Amino acid sequence: MANSALPVADATTPADNIVTRLRSWYLRSEAVRGFSLLSPTMLLMLLMLAMPLGVLFTLSFWEQEYLDFIKTFSLKNYTAFFEKRIYSKILIKSIGISSMVTLATVLLAYPMAYFIAFRVKRNKLVWLILITVPFWTSYLLRVFAWKIMLGYNGVINSGLKGLGLISEPLEFLLYNPTSVVITLAHAWAAFAILPIYVSLEKIDRSLLEAARDLGENAFMTFLRVTLPLSMPGVIAASLLVFIPTVGDYVTPALVGGPTGIMIGNIIQSMFGKAQNWPLGAALSVISMLTVTLLVCLFLWLSHIFKKHIA
């Protein structure tokens, strides 16, 4: 297409000359071609990401008055966060729940990923598909499945009752932080296995043999070679689980009960029943900053850990 347009350069009008020059400049400059290919995506990110986040930040300094906003700068929403202990308590609890979920998910996933990477010789793909099949049904239904499992008249209670092991349903199974942790650890399992598996699979097998030849036993080989080399996968898995679960409100709403409430539920209610968008925006900003800080801290610590062990 470009080639067929080139003979036009022979025409002598100045307008054509400019077009030709622009065209050859465009074709020659890699940066310009690259940026023009990137421009639709960058436009999307600008309009749908940067601008909304900026507006969210601005709104967090406004106030709600009935259905209208008072558009003057005010720190009221932020002082409310620090004065009313309930918000900070729930944020801390959410971070605690998400940390437990992350820890449980990664610890449970690691041996499984290790098994597929090192023990399965053929049909690795079959195992990977087996791992991901349960995650192809709707997220909501995966969470709801745990309500069926743990509920007052749920699978576990009605099953145990049927077997004559209990006479009254166990009430501690559902509607508490533990049920939230179990449900989330299940719902995000595949997100932990896959990155860990990829990083284990990438490890050069001759390094492991070298460690063994140099006299390390299997456990020390794992600790000093396999584990440090798989850290990128562990870190990716931790972030992939931690970041979305902090803001989740589906799981706490379905299986959390009053004690299992998380910050996402509070933020959501500010945009629903409570109808206080600026406060909701401020809570979002605070949560996002807290999560970002924690993630940076985590990355820094894992960097130190990696240096220390290597």
Partner 1 sequence: MAYAARRRFDGFTIYAVAYLVFIYLPVLFLPLFSFNSSRYIAFPLKEFTLQWYEEMLNNPSLIEALLNSVKIGVAVAIASTLMGTLAAKAVTRYRIPGRGPLIGVIMVPLVIPEIIMGIALLIVLNLGGIDLSLVTVALGHMLLCVPFSMLVMISRMEGFDKNMEEAARDLGENSWGAFWRVTFPLVLPGIVASLLLTFTISFDEFILAFFLSSTDVTLPVFIWSSLRFPRKIPAILALGATILVVSFVVVTFAEWFRRRGVHVKTDTGV
Q: Which of residues 235-274 bind partner 1 (CB under 8 A)?
A: 239, 243-244, 246-250, 254, 264, 267-268, 271
Please answer whether residues 189 and 109 qualify as being in contact, where contact means their C-beta atoms are separated by less than 8 angstroms.
Answer: yes
**In terms of CB distance, is 38 or 309 closer to partner 1?**
38
Member of 37, 67, 165, 214 binding partner 1 (CB under 8 A): 37
Structure tokens at 262: 């998380």
Member of 15, 31, 67, 214 binding partner 1 (CB under 8 A): 31
Long-range contacts of 91-96 (CB under 8 A, 24+ apart): 91/263, 91/283, 91/286, 91/287, 91/290, 93/177, 93/261, 93/262, 94/246, 94/262, 94/263, 94/264, 94/287, 95/246, 95/290, 95/291, 95/294, 96/177
**In terms of CB distance, is 177 or 285 closer to partner 1?**
285
Binders of partner 1 in range 153-172 (CB under 8 A): 153-155, 157-159, 162
* Interface stretch with partner 1, choices 7-15, 80-88, 146-154, 297-305 (CB under 8 A): 146-154
Member of 81, 146, 175, 197 binding partner 1 (CB under 8 A): 146
Member of 82, 124, 134, 293 binding partner 1 (CB under 8 A): 134
Length of the chain as a residue count: 310
Helix H or strand E encompassing 32: helix 30-45
| Residue 309 engages partner 1 in binding (rule: CB under 8 A) | no
**In terms of CB distance, is 168 or 308 closer to partner 1?**
168
| Residue 130 engages partner 1 in binding (rule: CB under 8 A) | yes
**In terms of CB distance, is 221 or 228 closer to partner 1?**
221
Q: Exposed/middle/buried for 306, CB within 10 Å: 0-12, 13-18, 19+?
A: middle
End-to-end CA separation in angstroms for the chain: 54
**In terms of CB distance, is 177 or 188 closer to partner 1?**
188
Member of 101, 173, 189, 261 binding partner 1 (CB under 8 A): 189
| Residue 91 engages partner 1 in binding (rule: CB under 8 A) | no
| Residue 111 engages partner 1 in binding (rule: CB under 8 A) | yes
| Residue 114 engages partner 1 in binding (rule: CB under 8 A) | yes
Query: Distance between CA 167 and CA 106 in Å, rounded?
Result: 36
Nearest to 221 by CA among 208, 238, 232: 208
* Interface stretch with partner 1, choices 14-22, 81-89, 115-123, 225-233 (CB under 8 A): 115-123
Count of residues interacting with partner 1 (CB under 8 A): 88
**In terms of CB distance, is 177 or 190 closer to partner 1?**
190
Beta strands in the chain (DSSP E): 63-65, 68-70
Binders of partner 1 in range 270-299 (CB under 8 A): 271, 277, 280-281, 284, 287-288, 291, 295
Residue that has been written with the tokens 């709801």 in this structure: 144
Please answer whether residues 264 and 253 qualify as being in contact, where contact means their C-beta atoms are separated by less than 8 angstroms.
Answer: no
Alpha helices in 84-188 (DSSP H): 85-114, 124-132, 139-150, 155-162, 177-187
